Structure 1
Amino acid sequence: MSGLRERQKEERRARICDVAVALFNQQGFHGTRLEDIAAAASLSVPTVCKYFPSKQTILLELIRLADQDALKEASSLIDMDAELVDVMCQLEAIIIKQSLEVMSPALWREVLPLLIFSPEKSLPEAFRNMNHRLVKGIHEFLAELQRRGRLRADAEIEFAAFMLNDYSHLQFSRLVANDELDMDKHRAEVRKMTTLILYGMAI
Structure 2
Amino acid sequence: MTGLRERQKEQRRHDIAQAALALFKANGFAATTLEQIASQAGVSAPTVVNYFGGKQEILLTLLKAPDEQAMSEARANLGENSDPLEALCELEGLMTRYQLQAMPASLWRELAPYLFTGELAEAFGPWNAAVVEAARSLLVHFQQLGKVRSSVDVEVAATLFNQYANLAFIRLATEGEPDREAHARHMRSVLGLICHGMLSE
The two structures have a TM-score, normalised by structure 2, of: 0.91
What CA deviation, in whole Å up to 9, does each residue of 1:37-85 have, x standing for no partner?
1111111111111112211110111112222121112222455624432
- Given that 2:16 and 2:48 are in contact with CA atoms closer than 8 Å, whether structure 1 keeps it comes out as yes
- Alpha-carbon distance in structure 2 between the residues aligned to 1:53 and 1:140: 31
Deviates more, 1:85-94 or 1:175-184: 175-184
Looking at structure 2, the residues matched to 124 and 91 of structure 1 have their Cα atoms a distance apart, in angstroms, of 22
1:196 to 179, 193, 197: 193
RMSD: 1.9
Alpha carbons of structure 1 residues 97 and 195: separation in structure 2 relative to 1, 3 Å: same
Deviations 1:128-167 (A, max 9, x none): 2321111001111111111111111111111111111111
Question: C-alpha distance in 1, partners of 2:74/2:8?
Answer: 29
1:76 corresponding residue in structure 2: 76
Structure 2 segments unaligned to the other structure (5+ residues): none
Assess if the C-alpha contact under 8 Å between 1:85 and 1:198 holds in 2: yes
1:177 equivalent to 2:174? Answer yes
2:24–2:107 contact (8 Å) kept in structure 1? yes
Q: Distance in 2 between matches of 1:115 and 1:169?
A: 9
Q: What's 2:122 paired with?
A: 125
In the aligned structure 1, how far is the partner of 2:183 from the partner of 2:78?
A: 20
Between the aligned partners of 1:149 and 1:77, the Cα distance in structure 2 is: 18
- CA drift at 1:200: 2.9
Structure 1 counterpart of 2:61 = 61
Structure 1 unaligned blocks of 5 or more: none
Percent of pairs identical after alignment?
39
Where has structure 1 moved over 6 Å in runs of 4 or more? none
| Shift in alpha-carbon separation, 1:20–1:99, aligned structure 2, 3 A | same
* Distance across 1 between alignment mates of 2:20 and 2:176: 21
The count of aligned residue pairs is: 199
Give the C-alpha shift of residue 107 in structure 1. 0.8
Q: Aligned AA for 2:59?
A: L
Letter in 1 for 2:169: F
Written as runs of structure 1 = structure 2, the 5 A alignment for 1:7-46 is 7-46=7-46
Cα shift readout 1:154-188 (whole Å, capped 9, x = no counterpart): 11111111111111111112112223101122112
TM-score, structure 1 length as denominator?
0.90
Taking a change above 3 Å as real, the CA distance of residues 26 and 81 of structure 1, as seen in their structure-2 partners, is farther
